[in-house]
Structure 1
Amino acid sequence: MDTRIQFRIDEETKRLSQQMAESQGRTLSDACREFTEQLAEQQRKVLSHDAWLTNQINQAFEKLDDGKASFINHENAKSQMAERKAKIRGRANQ
C-alpha cells in the first residue's frame, strides 16, 4: 500500500525545485520519492549495522562469560595497533 506524504514549502522553493526536476526529465514528485527512498535505504543500512554490532557485542560478552576471553595490557594493544597500521600503510604505498 502506498502512502501519501504532504509538506509545506514556500512558492519560490517549489518553483525552483520544479524547474530543476524538469531539467532532469522528472517531476518534483519523482524527485521527492527518490530522495525518500534514498533516506529509507540509508536507514536500512544503519539498522543492519546496528544489528551486526549488537551481535558482535553479545558474542564478546558470551565469550567473557564462558571464560574464553583474553585480555592484553595497554602497551601491547598500542604496539599491536601500530604494527597493523604500519602494515596497512605499507600496502597503500605499494
Structure 2
Amino acid sequence: MSSTIHFRIDDETKRLAMLAAERQQMSLTELMRQRAEELAAEELRFQNSDHEHWLEQQIAHAFNRHNSGEGEYLNNDEVTKHMDDLRQRAAQGKL
C-alpha cells in the first residue's frame, strides 16, 4: 500500500530542489521519496537500537541479581505448573 504526501514550499525552494534533483538525474518526486525512505530507515534503526538498549539493561539486571544471589530458580516442573496456573487465570480473566 502506498500513500501520498502533500506539502507546500516557496517557489525558490522548489526551483532549487528541482535543480538539485535534475543534477542527480531524478525527478523531484523520486528524490523526495528517496529522502522519506531514508528518514524511515533512520527511525527504524533508532527504534531498534532503543529496544536493544532496553534489552541489554534487562540482561545486565538479571545477571546482577544472579551474581548477588537474589535470583529465584525454578525447575522445569515448577515452571510448567506456574505457566499452567497463569494460562488458567488468563482464561478466567483474572490477570
TM category, shorter: 0.5 to 0.7
1:8 is aligned to 8
TM-score of the pair, normalised by structure 2 = 0.66
Letter in 2 for 1:62: A
Q: For structure 2, list consecutive stretches of 5 or more residues without a partner in the other structure.
A: 69-95
1:18 is aligned to 18
TM superposition shift of 1:20: 1.4
2:41 is aligned to 41
TM superposition shift of 1:11: 0.6
RMSD: 1.2
Q: Distance in 1 between matches of 2:60 and 2:34?
A: 39
1:56 is aligned to 56
Query: Percent same amino acid among aligned pairs?
Result: 31
2:92 is aligned to none
* 1:25-63, Cα deviation, whole Å (9 max, x unpaired): 100011101111111111111111111111110011112
- Pair member with larger Rg: 2
TM-score of the pair, normalised by structure 1 = 0.67
TM superposition shift of 1:5: 0.7
- State the aligned residue count: 68
Q: Distance in 2 between matches of 1:53 and 1:2?
A: 32
